[in-house]
Structure formats: structure tokens, C-alpha cells
Amino acid sequence: MFNRGQPVDRRLTPGLDAILLGDGGELDSLGVINLLVALEEAVGEEFGTHVDILTVATGQNGAEVFATTNGLVKYLSSQVG
């Protein structure tokens, strides 16, 4: 869903292994923020609950938690589970 809305040359590799934050990250900081805010909106619509992903991502352990799309998916599952 995120990729569909992105410029064609700035899309994330599909799957769970795409690197989000840190070395080798596929998106620049603007891309990461856009992804996380889009996810917040989608989660709000789908589950009727607000998850503040951006604040967690920019917090102390954010780089570890959201290193890959897999980490992001795990985090979201734990929040809306």
C-alpha cells in the first residue's frame, strides 16, 4: 500500500527484509517519516486505534526496533494484536 503511493524510484523492496533505518537503509529520512505516518493513518482506519510509531522510531531504541520491515511488522502486531 505504501509503495503504491510513492514515486516509482523510491519504493521499498517488498518483503520483510527491507532495511528501514541505519546503514543500508532504502529510504531517506523523509521517506521513513512518510512511511511511518502513512502506517499510523492506516492502522487508525483499520483498527480504530492510534499507534504513535514515529515517536517510538525516533526514540532511544527506535533504530533497533525498526531496523527492517520485519521489526516494524512485529512492533505493530504487538500494539494492535
Residues that bind other proteins (CB under 8 A): 5-10, 30, 33-34, 37-38, 40-41, 54
Query: Smaller CB distance to other proteins: residue 9 or 23?
Result: 9
**Min. distance of Cβ 29 from other proteins in angstroms?**
8
Residue 44 Cα distances to 3, 24, 32, 40, 57, angstroms = 19, 30, 18, 6, 17
3-state secondary structure 1-16: CCHHHCCHHHCCCCCC
Give the nearest distance from C-beta 75 to other proteins in angstroms: 18
Residue number with CB closer to other proteins (30 or 60):
30
Nearer to other proteins, 38 or 76 (CB): 38
Q: How far is the CB of 70 from other proteins (least distance, A)?
A: 24
Closest residue by Cα to residue 40 from 61, 66, 9, 12: 66
CB 58 within 8 A of CB 47: no
